[in-house]
Amino acid sequence: MTGLLRTIKNENENINVTWFDLPDDYAVKDASKEILSMISQAYSGDEVALRDGLLRIPRIEIDERRNQKLPNCGNIQARLKPFHQGDRRLTLKIGKVGLLDMLAFKDDEEVADPELRHDQVEVEVRASALNFRDIAASMGLIEDYCLGDEVAGVVLRTGRDVQESELKPGDRVLVTRPGQGGHRSVVRETAMLYYRIGNIDYAEAVALCGVYCTAYFSLVSTARLKAGEYWLIHSAAGGVGQIAIQIAQYLGAKIIATVGSAEKRQFLQERFGIPENMIRSSRDPLFVKGIRDITNGYGIDVALNSLAGELFHETWRNIAPFGRFVKIGKRNIHENTKLDMDPFRNNVTPPQPLTRMSFAEVQKAFRLLQMGKHFGKIVLVPGEHDMVPVLLPSYRNTKLFASEKVYLLVGGLGGMGSPWQAGWYAGATLFWLKAKGIAVKVFRGDVTDKETVNHVIQSLGDRLAGIFQAVMENHDGLYAQMTMDQWRECASPKTHGTWNLHNATLNNSRLDFFVCLSSSSGILGAMGQANYAAANCYMDALMAHRRAMGLPGFTMNLGMVSGVGAVSNDATLETTMERLGYEPMAEKEVFYLTEEAVLASYAHKERQKTTYLQQQDFPYTGSESHRLVAGINVQRKDVYWATLPVGRNLYANLDLGDQGDKPKASQNLATVIQMAQTHDEKAENPLVNYGLDSIVAVEFRKWFLKTVQVDVALFQIIGAKSITALVETVVGSVMAAHPSSSEGTGGQLTLSAAESKIAQAATLAQKLDNGNSVSSVGSKISKEEFPVIEDKSAPIPLSSAQIGLWRAHNMLEDPSALNLTITCFISGNVLFQTMKQAVVELACRNPIFRTAYMETVVRYEDDYGNVESSPRALAEWYSESMKRVALDSRRGEVMHVTVLKLGAGHYAMAFAVHHIALDNMSTTSKVNQMISLYDALRFGTQADLARVPSPRLTYADYTLWMQRQVHGSGSLPADLEWWAANLHGIPAASSLLPFATGPRPAERFSTHRDVVHNVLPKPLSRRIRRVAAPATPFHFLLTALRGFIYRYIRENDLVLLLVDNMRPHAALDDVIGYFVNLVPLRCRGGCDGPDATFDSLLGRVSAGVLEAMAHSWAPFGEVARAAGADPAGCRSHFPVGQLVVNYMPSSPAPRFAGREFRIDELCSADMAGTCELAVDLAERHDDTLGMRLEFDCDLYPRRHMERFWNNFLIFLTQVIRDPRMPLAEVKI
């Protein structure tokens, strides 16, 4: 019935039907209660099943665990697993060329066969040497994929032709296998490549092997180095270099060495006694002059060269007559001569230092060698408890069938039963099987006939081990027009036929699997296939029934398979199915599904006598384990089944219609306020459930301030646990500000009183519905809310925010880096003199532009010389030119303004403002004031100009108010105490990213910055809002960034600096000035360990943000000093944290218009940052998310930062799709 009803509902949009699947023994009275209960709850689905006392609804889930096993899957991930897993043998593989973080272990197919060749020896690896060839292969410098050349270990077993006198189990051996791969659990090699090492340490043995062979072959066998000859060795502190020095000293040669650092120079002097004058730099071609001085112009007899480029050629030019030049490098020569290892220990010491690193540190080891700062030798040693990144097993054509058993294929000889065949007829299938040496017996009969089926099963006897039910008949048509013959001919082979097979094999305890080839049409309710959908759902249900009986049973719900089956002979059908949204499956995918079906059946036999609802083959609670669904297109949202309840989870990643559109702020505000006035249980829900974001929170803050004269912090609004909790918070603030209002209630205000206190909410909601803004409602702020400083004659100190910019201005070589440029593109008519007067008046009304400063400079330009470009490009060019002109803030020069005439009726107005006087949030107030002043000057009188309101508060009021807060008259001291405790013990600075060009300099203050960009697509950006709840999108993105950074620097204690552009008091919203504050967010833990999932980290980060924002109005400079990191004392890096994050939610573009012109577009270019990394995450009007990364280009090369930022997009995409995934499984 399920498949039939699904199709009927899809074929008839006006039919509203819900069906209940109840157990056979369920009482009618109880069934009625359950049905009425569901109806009373206004259930929006269409089908419900009652099982084991639980109501279940069908949902399709993507099975990532199995999808990741597909070859060439785009989402292959590694998980931390023990390196030692019994009989499971692992080998190190290159996940993605160029990314060392993608190195991971996978199943070693070389040793999958348990049989040894006659001449092979199997060794358990105890140590493997890391070579530069491994780095070259991993980074794509050479075309190779096998990692590791030398290993040492213990013999496990030998082939039958290996004599015990040569090797036997338990022997300690060295194995040389150049280009074959050695970083693995076990190796197998012919006996001639094994060497006994006696009691030599495993790590020392592998450290010696490759480098000794290379050095000996190069100097003795090839170069024939003799006593008294001049010998030049480059990179002498490396593994080959150290061994070569010992050989050269033994031979009596005169050694000239080059190294890359003073540390290595000292090492060679102390370790090998090489005189200082014989050691030169390998980083500078000037080493040539030193060689000529040492040899009196003669040159080098033998050179062992590992350098490239110009240094390579300079070495070649200095070879003496009849000299020898030996080149080693990424194509090192490996001479595998049989040599006794014991003399090595007596006469040659291993390269020093010998660094042992576990297989769990394999990525770290590769990176250490890649950076070129390590000398000596790195050896990988597998630890007993090593946890390593292991890729999930992939499909490897696992052996499924046994030659002594019999398997029955029912139907399918012309289609899905033979996905490998070239034709469609049964003869081709039989020919293919026989060609493989398979004995084939054909039974002719009707599977719907019970007697025929019983005869076949009985004739096969106890050898029958598996059944494939692949019978298929199609007779399509709308259900309303379908005949009984159409129904019967299509459905009976699947229903009656499968039932007959089921009954005939009930007593066969040796049956390993019973696999039915079903179809996704039953899951989706394919239109025009009611009979086919019903029949396939019957097969699904019967296999579930078999599972409940403890019998094998599995269905493969397939879609369209390209090249085989029904569609292979009907091009029109294939085109139609693709148009409808079916995703073609490849032939190999059918094989992989078959493997899953058979193996799942084998596994089920180990869990017999359990119900199928109790089995957990899937990682989802309540999911079924008796079927797989494939061939459903999950990339399109226009398929008819995308909106069906069964596909609700499957298509949750896509935005359907306008349902994902962000509600307008006013609608959200009205909704939430109306909720607050009700006694509905919804008032206990978090505000984020109703679309609350930072934009709406700002509107709330304004409304509370104007309506009940209370300034509610943004963190209190965003972090409120419920609407009721927010109202209670506001009421508490009201009572604290107006104690007299609580008289008669014992000093307490109840929630009922709170509702009366905000009774204006209904009026506000009505105004919002009528299109009025929030700011138009409420009373004016009085002096009591925010005090105005009447006497400003005394010098006013810089604010804490300005102090940092002032320090930067004095330290920078080019102070123009602190300029902020704003360009307004104007349509209409602009009179230059009037605009100049307006700008001067603006400066007079806003002391931030003139306090102890000189008069603002205003110019007019309509001649651009010979520059040829579009008017807009000219304006942008001019604005950029203004930005590069340093403003002398010492003399009060903080703003230049230029009016550019671009053409008839088109102008651009460019502002270059020193950031000390203005932030981006001030732009709206500045432009609005300027336009009002221009109109008054252009069309009014002096009296009209006087009537244009001046700002009631100035930046000086804020500065003096904040100064009093800092010095103890407010709550700031308590906040600073909290910050001191919260930031106690923070690292002095976070680690640099692994691809930094070098360490941080001791003293440096630079704004050399570069930028890379990325864009998160609309569907993913929209989905963040849904999956982040009850956190905010900002919390989600911040969590992703924190988890991503951890993958690179592996620090569990990291401080991120959050940009807070909000004014510390709502009364300051229209004040022009620099209010930008930084809020430290200390992130401790949550990124490693088996339980570290993204959603758990999201909870930690979200709680941390809310807690930090509760103290966010404390100036960053004061916070840094409280944490013991005085900004004035930090010379090499930004204090407290080195990564700044700025999140900019989408908001309507402001509209500016005067009486004779309007501003069509306003563009701004901010100053370069002073942190090493600065991230801007900006919601765009097209619902995409702009991701901008600014970085210190003196520390990081651009090419690495581009790859780094692309990796973040990959990381972010995965956690958006599945926020529950373990962090270790997120690939980059």
CA distances from 1044 to 97, 185, 1209, 1212 (A): 19, 30, 10, 8
How many residues are there in the chain?
1228
Q: If you average pLDDT over each of 32-41, 279-288, 710-719, which comes out highest?
A: 279-288
Mean pLDDT of 863-873: 54
The pLDDT, as a whole number, for residue 621 is 35
Q: Comparing 702 with 108, which gets the higher pLDDT?
A: 108
Inter-axis angle of helices 450-460 and 484-504, nearest 10: 30
Same domain for 518 and 424, yes or no, is yes
The pLDDT score that the predictor gives to residue 648 is: 67
120-130 and 150-158 as β-strands: parallel, antiparallel, unpaired? antiparallel
Q: For residue range 1115-1131, list pLDDT tens digits in order.
A: 888 888 888 876 665 66
Q: Greater confidence, 689 or 1161?
A: 1161
DSSP 8-state secondary structure symbol assigned to residue 325? E
Evaluated on CA atoms 293, 299, 302, 304, the torsion sign reads positive
Asked whether the predicted pLDDT for residue 184 surpasses 80, the reply is: yes
Please state the rounded mean pLDDT for residues 247-267: 87
| CA-closest candidate to residue 773, choices 367, 480, 487, 1151 | 1151
- Average pLDDT value for residue range 88-113: 80
Cβ(427)–Cβ(414) below 8 Å: no
788 inside domain: no
Q: How confident is the model over 58-87, as pLDDT tens digits? A: 777 777 667 766 665 444 567 788 888 888
pLDDT in tens, 1209-1221: 999 999 998 888 8
Residue 786, domain member (yes or no): no
Token code pair at residue 694: 């930072």
What are the tens digits of pLDDT across the range 737-776?
555 444 444 333 333 433 443 433 333 333 333 333 322 2
Residue 390 CB contacts under 8 Å (≥ 6 apart), including other chains: 78, 79, 80, 81, 90, 104, 105, 106
Separation of alpha carbons 568 and 1132, rounded Å = 68
pLDDT at 290 (0 to 100): 79
For residue 331, what pLDDT is reported?
A: 35
Q: Is the domain of 226 the same as that of 361?
A: no
Instruction: Give percent above pLDDT 70 in the chain.
Output: 68
Of these ranges, 137-141, 438-442, 797-801, the one predicted with the greatest mean pLDDT is 438-442
Q: Is the pLDDT of residue 434 over 70?
A: yes
Residue 794, pLDDT score: 60
Q: What pLDDT is stored for residue 658 in this prediction?
A: 38
- Tokens representing 1048 are 């690179």
In a domain, 1018, yes or no: yes
Which pLDDT does position 620 carry in this prediction? 33
* 1164 contacts 823 by C-beta, under 8 angstroms: yes
Q: What is the pLDDT of residue 211?
A: 80
DSSP 3-state of 194: strand
Q: How far apart are CA 714 and CA 1034, in angstroms?
A: 14
pLDDT score recorded for residue 720 = 66
Report percent pLDDT > 90 for the chain: 9
Containing 246, the helix (H) or strand (E) segment is helix 239-251
Distance CA 707, CA 775 (A): 10
Q: Reply yes or no on whether the pLDDT at 1044 is more than 90.
A: yes
3-state secondary structure of 106: strand
Q: Do residue 417 and residue 561 come from a single domain? A: yes
User: What is the torsional sign of CA 503, 504, 510, 513?
Assistant: negative
Three-class secondary structure of residue 964 per DSSP: helix
Q: Is the pLDDT of residue 42 over 80?
A: no
Residues 6+ apart with CB under 8 A from 238: 306, 351, 375, 376
As a whole number of Å, the CA-based R_g of the chain is 38
1168 or 1075, higher pLDDT: 1075
Residue with tokens 């509203």: 16
Question: CB–CB of 385/476 below 8 Å?
Answer: no
**Listed ranges 799-808, 838-847, 868-877; the one with the highest mean pLDDT:** 838-847
pLDDT at 149 over 80: yes
- pLDDT for 296 equals 86
pLDDT band at 691, cuts 50/70/90?
very low
- Going by C-alpha positions, the residue among 153, 149, 217, 151 that lies closest to residue 177 is 149
Alpha carbon separation from 600 to 504, 512, 605 (Å, rounded): 22, 10, 9
Q: Is the pLDDT of residue 695 over 80?
A: no
770, 771, 775, 779 alpha-carbon torsion, rounded to 10°: -20
Task: State the average pLDDT over residues 114-123.
Answer: 85
* Six token digits for residue 1166: 């901010």
Instruction: Please report, for the domain that includes residue 300, its CATH number.
Output: 3.40.50.720
SS3 415: coil
- Can you give the pLDDT at residue 899? 86
Write the DSSP symbol of residue 579. H
Structural domain boundaries enclosing 1209: 971-991+1004-1146+1171-1225
479 & 592 share domain = yes
- Please answer whether residues 1080 and 1119 qualify as being in contact, where contact means their C-beta atoms are separated by less than 8 angstroms: yes
The full 3-state SS of 344-377, as one line of letters, equals HHHHCCCCCCEEEEEHHHHHHHHHHHHCCCCCEE
Which tokens belong to 163? 């004599």
CA dihedral 1005, 1006, 1007, 1011 (to 10 degrees): -110
Closest CA to 245 of 311, 341, 258: 258
Question: CA–CA separation, 127 vs 201, rounded Å?
Answer: 9
* Average per-residue pLDDT for the chain: 75
Residue 652's pLDDT band (cuts 50, 70, 90)? low
Per-residue pLDDT of 766-808, as tens digits, reads 333 333 332 222 222 233 345 565 555 566 677 767 776 666 6
Number of domains forming the structure of the chain = 7
Q: Is the peptide bond before 1150 cis (omega within 30 degrees of 0)?
A: no
**Tokens 């004016």, located at residue:** 780
Is residue 448 a part of any domain in this protein? yes
In a domain, 218, yes or no: yes
Helix (H, G, I), strand (E, B) or coil at 60: coil
Whether 443 and 501 map to the same domain: the answer is yes
Most confident of 495-509, 576-590, 1168-1182: 495-509
Q: Is residue 497 part of a domain?
A: yes
* Confidence band of 665 (pLDDT split at 50, 70, 90): very low
Q: Which residue has the higher pLDDT, 279 or 679?
A: 279
Is there a domain that residue 253 lies in? yes
| Three-class SS state of 1043 | helix
Q: Do 81 and 41 have their domain in common?
A: no
Continuous segment of H or E residues that includes residue 501: helix 484-504
Give the range among 22-31, 775-784, 935-944, 1119-1128 with minimum mean pLDDT. Answer: 775-784
- Mean pLDDT of the region 265-294: 82
pLDDT digits (tens, 9 = 90+) for 882-932: 766 777 666 667 788 888 888 888 888 888 888 778 788 888 888 989 998
- Can you give the pLDDT at residue 1082? 92
On whether both 85 and 199 belong to a single domain, the answer is yes
pLDDT(492) > 50: yes
Same domain, 625 and 761: no
| pLDDT, tens digit, 9 for 90 and up, residues 523-556 | 787 777 888 889 889 998 888 888 888 888 888 8
The 3-state DSSP class for residue 65 equals helix
Work out the pLDDT band at 217, boundaries 50, 70, 90: confident
Considering the domain architecture, whether residues 856 and 831 belong to the same structural domain is answered as yes
Distances 932 to 554, 825, 835, 926, 1068 between C-alpha atoms, Å = 76, 17, 11, 10, 20
Q: Are residues 200 and 215 in the same domain?
A: no
CB atoms within 10 A of CB 277: 10
Please tell me whether residue 390 adopts helix, strand or coil conformation. Answer: strand
CATH of the domain at 1033: 3.30.559.30
Q: Picking from 353-357, 396-400, 617-621, which range would have the lowest pLDDT averaged per residue?
A: 617-621
pLDDT band at residue 944 using 50, 70 and 90 as cut-offs: confident
- Residue 880 is predicted with a pLDDT of 72
Last residue of a domain, one of 734, 754, 771: 771
Strand order in the sheet with 1077-1084: 1009-1016, 1185-1192, 1173-1179, 1139-1144, 1053-1060, 1077-1084
Whether residue 789 lies inside any domain: the answer is: no
Residue 688's pLDDT is what?
Answer: 52
1047 Cβ partners below 8 Å, 6+ apart?
101, 1211, 1228
What CATH number corresponds to the domain at position 917? 3.30.559.10
Q: What is the Cβ-side half-sphere exposure of residue 248, based on CA atoms within 13 angstroms?
A: 29
Per DSSP (E only), the strands in 198-299 are: 230-233, 254-259, 279-281
pLDDT at 809: 63
Q: What's the helix, strand, coil split of the chain in %, to 5?
A: 40, 20, 40
Phi and psi of 105, rounded to 5°?
A: -95, 150
At a CB cut-off of 8 Å and minimum separation 6, what does 360 contact? 83, 383, 386, 387, 388
| Helices assigned H by DSSP within 1071-1159 | 1094-1109, 1116-1122
Where residue 1038 falls among pLDDT bands split at 50, 70, 90?
Answer: very high
377 and 418 both lie in a single domain: no
- For position 147, which CATH number holds? 3.90.180.10
Predicted pLDDT of residue 749: 35
Q: Is the pLDDT of residue 135 over 70?
A: yes
Which range (730-734, 817-821, 939-943, 1216-1220) has the least confidence? 730-734
Q: Are residues 930 and 834 in the same domain?
A: yes
| Nearest by Cα to 907 from 881, 879, 885 | 879
Instruction: Give the model's confidence band at 334: pLDDT under 50 very low, under 70 low, under 90 confident, else very high.
Output: very low
